[in-house]
Amino acid sequence: MIKLIGQRAIASIFSLLVLMVLVFFLSRLTGDPAVLFLPIDATEQMKEEFRRLHGLDRPVLEQFWFYLQDLAYLDFGESLRKARPALEVVLEAYAWTLPLALITMALVMVAAIVLGSLAAFKTGGFFDRLVSIISLIGASAPDFWIAIVAIVIFSIGLGWLPTSGVGTPVHWILPVAVLFIRPFGLVVQVVRGSMLAALQAPYVKTARAKGVKNLPLIFVHTLRNGMLPVITVMGDQAAALLNGAVIVETIFGFPGIGKLMIDSILQRDFNVVLAAIMVTALAIFIMNVLIDIAYGLLDPRIRY
């Protein structure tokens, strides 16, 4: 297991370096920040001073070299928009995205495992068909459409929930509900398929012959062996949420990493864009390591 994690770490470091190079040079193609940040009537001298102040007057390769030197000390530079360290701005945004992702994935995990397992046990019945229809609709519906419909119905029409903000727990209901739908639709289908295969195993038939009741049969004897593909899908969905639910956070005005990345790209805040992408890539790497560890805990054969 330790060897596997070490191999993953080496591969991830190489991926981070490649990603950093691509994002650094591609972000420079989006335009000149001096044109965006300074007033329309700013003189060319003012623009030159702005570029000199932020090191944008140097050749791109020289900018990249100094950026690498600063990165060795975990210094991502200063946000052009907020005049604060870029890493600090990104971590503040993650402080909102992380609980949003954790709450959503906790609800997805519980609901998908329970409903998917029960649907597999009663395959072909009314409950199985109902869960399958709901999950397919959830997995197919676009997030932005669900978010807009939810605002129209629950905020504008009924007036029950606010359209944006994070001031109270009520403000979290719509973002969590919208983010819940798509992962739930995907995970519940995987749980159902995996449990269908596990329920056909000989040890399950033996347990049934010994008189084991339905709920212990599903959630004790069968669930652990059917969880490996489920963990893979849940890890992918969790990584997507950690990456920032860009559309949902933008629609609901949620101050998470997704909204920050969109705003920073539009405002040419290069340092924040680079810091956000690097921190996100690191979070996804940690998520993949946790998935590998979970594999080893569920199936001891993987440890070897």
Model confidence over 278-291: pLDDT tens digits?
888 787 777 777 77
Among 66-80, 203-217, 231-245, name the one with the lowest average pLDDT.
203-217
CB 258 within 8 A of CB 248: yes
pLDDT of residue 29: 67
pLDDT at 97: 84
Average pLDDT on 178-198 reads 83
Q: What's the pLDDT score for residue 110?
A: 87
The CATH number for 87-299, chosen from 1.10.580.10, 2.40.37.10, 1.10.3720.10, 3.30.365.10, is 1.10.3720.10
Q: Give the closest residue to 129 by CA, choosing from 119, 140, 121.
A: 119
Q: Please, where are the H alpha helices in the chain? A: 2-27, 33-37, 44-53, 60-71, 86-121, 126-140, 143-150, 169-198, 202-209, 214-216, 228-242, 246-251, 257-266, 270-298
Q: Are 273 and 93 in contact (CB under 8 A)?
A: no
- For the question of whether the overall pTM of this predicted structure is more than 0.75, the answer is no
Q: What percent of the chain has pLDDT over 70?
A: 78
**Could you state, in order of their start, the residue ranges of all structural domains in the chain?**
2-71, 87-299
> How far apart, in whole angstroms, are the C-alpha atoms of residue 291 and residue 32?
41
Instruction: Say what the pLDDT of residue 38 is.
Output: 64
Kindly tell me if the per-residue pLDDT of 304 is higher than 60: no
Provide mean pLDDT across the span 100-123.
84
Q: What pLDDT does 215 receive? A: 66
Q: Within 10 A of 221 (CB to CB), how many other CB atoms are there?
A: 18
For residue 130, give Cα distances in angstroms to 42, 188, 287, 292: 62, 12, 32, 33
Instruction: Provide the pLDDT confidence category of residue 27 given band limits of 50, 70 and 90.
Output: low
pLDDT of residue 263: 80
pLDDT band at 241 (very low <50, low <70, confident <90, very high): confident
What mean pLDDT, rounded, does the chain reach?
77
Residue 137: how many CB atoms within 10 A of its CB? 11
**249 touches 175 (CB < 8 A):** yes
